[in-house]
Structure 1
Amino acid sequence: MPAAVTPMTDEQRKAVVTAYLKAFDNGGTSHDGTPILDYFAEDAQFFFPKWGLAHGKAEISRTFGDLGSAVKSVEHHFAAFNWIVTGTDLLAVEGTTHGEHRDGPWRVGVPEWGAGRWCGVFEVRDLLIQRAFIYLDPDYAGKDVARYPWL
């Protein structure tokens, strides 16, 4: 017998995404001890720039391991999130961050063209993230400037 679908509100979807991002900020575990991968469906998709598209929890775990080897810490600015909800399983969030990359620290707005601004598009169903596509500039330390004459 197929598993029952759990109806969700937009606020519940936002809560799942927020809990995932807080676990990300906390080194991969929520404050109540929930491992970050527990927020994802078994067959979830995860996209991150310069990494590519991960299929399923095993590849998502590898993605997080690779990101963790480069990003020492990150803090999302939850109070400043801009949510776009659709009344369906899809929602998007635009936000800012600061943190430390292995190449140095970053803070949104310092410099204005640098890292710290991001957007994520999520599909949340049955209390789990089915799809997370993250859009940002992964050059956290702002070292890739030679290729952009306006910098």
Structure 2
Amino acid sequence: MISTQTMTDEQRKSVALEYLKAFDNGGITSTGGSILDLFAEDAQVLFPKWGLATGRDQIGRMFGDLGARLKSITHDYAHFNWIFSGGDTLVCEGTSHGEHIEGRWRAGVPTPAAAGYWCDVFEIRDFKIQRCFIYLDPDYGFQDTARYPWLNR
């Protein structure tokens, strides 16, 4: 799709924040709409161990699968680090806490393992998320100790 609206870095950031807050709110945006409304029709989202979802239908399926594993999630907005490219791409790194079906997590608690630390790379044009690649360790419950013995320490 050809870009038709010029956006500032702060406008891109506001779209990304709306997405993160909607995720914390069970997929509902601040205006009462669906989180999927924030995405372009042909957007792509990557989540570790799920893969690449293309289009709103697949993204909705991915979010449904992920949401079924979470009892709650809260992103720690006050501690976000935003990196702007000067173009359509921006990066947000941060932490989150909540409750997975396998237990609670908070970055650095009880161990400094990767649960709760994440980095999202967004491409936002025309006030829609075109691409969101999510980088994190999806093992919130620290169940992967057989392959990573240092987690048992």
Normalization by structure 1: what TM-score? 0.96
Write the deviation string for residues 117-146 of structure 1: whole angstroms up to 9, x where unpaired: 000000000000000000000000111112
SS at match of 1:150: helix
Write the deviation string for residues 88-133 of structure 1: whole angstroms up to 9, x where unpaired: 0001010000001011111111111140000000000000000000
Contact 2:18 2:30 in 1 (8 A): no
SS at match of 2:68: helix
Unaligned runs of 5+ in 1: none
4+ residue runs over 3 A deviation: none
Q: How does 1:103-142 map to 2 (within 5 A)?
A: 103-110=102-109, 111-142=111-142
Contact 1:114 1:142 in 2 (8 A): no
CA distance in 1, matches of 2:48, 2:2: 33
CA distance in 2, matches of 1:15, 1:100: 26
Q: What does residue 32 of structure 2 align with? A: 33
CA distance in 1, matches of 2:150, 2:118: 21
Greater mean alpha carbon deviation, residues 2-11 or residues 98-107: 2-11
CA distance in 2, matches of 1:29, 1:95: 21
> Cα distance, 1:30 vs. partner?
1.6
> Cα distance, 1:4 vs. partner?
6.3
Q: What does residue 21 of structure 1 align with? A: 20
Q: RMSD over aligned Cα, in angstroms?
A: 1.3
Counterpart code for 1:141: G
CA distance in 2, matches of 1:72, 1:42: 28
SS at match of 2:26: coil
State the percentage of identical aligned residues.
61
Q: What does residue 47 of structure 2 align with? A: 48
Counterpart code for 1:73: S
Normalization by structure 2: what TM-score? 0.94
CA distance in 2, matches of 1:10, 1:3: 19
CA distance in 2, matches of 1:7, 1:55: 24
Counterpart code for 2:134: I
Q: What does residue 78 of structure 2 align with? A: 79
Q: What does residue 89 of structure 2 align with? A: 90
| Matched pairs, number | 150
